[in-house]
Structure 1
């Protein structure tokens, strides 16, 4: 059976890219909420969002932050990073800006782990491939992600207990 992970990401900006990651089928992630289901959770307030995160992350073996252009600015992503660190879950990042979202790629985003309180150095893997002219090749990027995601998922770091 595939390794189970919790994917942390910026929903509005990157949901199409996250679908591509899930379609790799190398790992089993939490069910993705559609925008209506997410709004239902969000309308019930911050505690409902925290409860959803806790429930979805509870039995996952690792947390992978899928890093797009604006991921580091999202408060719930930072919360998920801090929770994973506190729970001593293996934590890592994978850059997804080079995957196509409705036909376009994005610029790389900043390191979200640097914004999380008390989190140490966390590995970030970048499958982005550029062509001869320096443009991102989204198909080659997807292929590199597909070929490496499972191996990368076992290289997360945890908070030390000392």
Structure 2
């Protein structure tokens, strides 16, 4: 049975790439909102956004940050990382910049969103591993992620002990 996970990402830039990850079928994740539904949540204000995130993180064993060009430093991605870690969930990142988007384009590699977080004197990266598929061909990147994502999730959960 697939682990229940929460996917964190920059919607505007990476929703197409994220839908490819969802289609792999190797993890179970929250439903992705359409742009219109996310807009409804956003219009309801910060409390509504936090509630949606918290509700969808509940019952999940791991947060997967799908890292695109502009994922790091986004307010709600940061909130999701902090909330998941504070709740004892596994946390990991996967670079997705070499997956093609709906226009057939790749994007520049983004920065590691975990770099700014510390736990005591330790960097969060002690518990939050980040994976960067070594291939540049989009179909090979897809295969690498599909072949490894379930084990990366298990590693993240085990690191939280």
Displacement after TM superposition at 1:28 (Å)? 0.5
* CA distance, structure 1, for counterparts of residue 73 and residue 129 of structure 2: 19
The residue that corresponds to 1:4 in the other structure is 4
- Give the unaligned 5+ runs of structure 1: 130-135
Displacement after TM superposition at 1:77 (Å)? 0.1
Q: Summarize the alignment of residues 124-135 of structure 1 with structure 2, pairs less than 5 Å apart.
A: 124-129=130-135
Contact 1:78/1:116, CA 8 A, preserved across alignment: no
The residue that corresponds to 1:120 in the other structure is 124
* CA distance, structure 2, for counterparts of residue 148 and residue 100 of structure 1: 19
CA deviations 1:81-108 (Å, max 9, x no partner) are 0111111111111111111102011111
The residue that corresponds to 1:58 in the other structure is 58
Contact 1:82/1:117, CA 8 A, preserved across alignment: no
Greater CA drift, 92-101 or 116-125: 116-125
Displacement after TM superposition at 1:117 (Å)? 5.7
Q: CA RMSD in A?
A: 1.4
Q: Summarize the alignment of residues 53-92 of structure 1 with structure 2, pairs less than 5 Å apart.
A: 53-92=53-92
Number of matched residues? 153
1:111 correspondence with 2:104: no
TM-score scaled by structure 2? 0.90
The residue that corresponds to 1:31 in the other structure is 31
CA deviations 1:48-67 (Å, max 9, x no partner) are 00000000000001111110
Hey, which bits of structure 1, 4+ residues long, moved more than 3 A? 116-119
Pick closer, same or farther for the CA change 1:34–1:117 going to 2, 3 Å. Answer: farther
The residue that corresponds to 1:142 in the other structure is 142
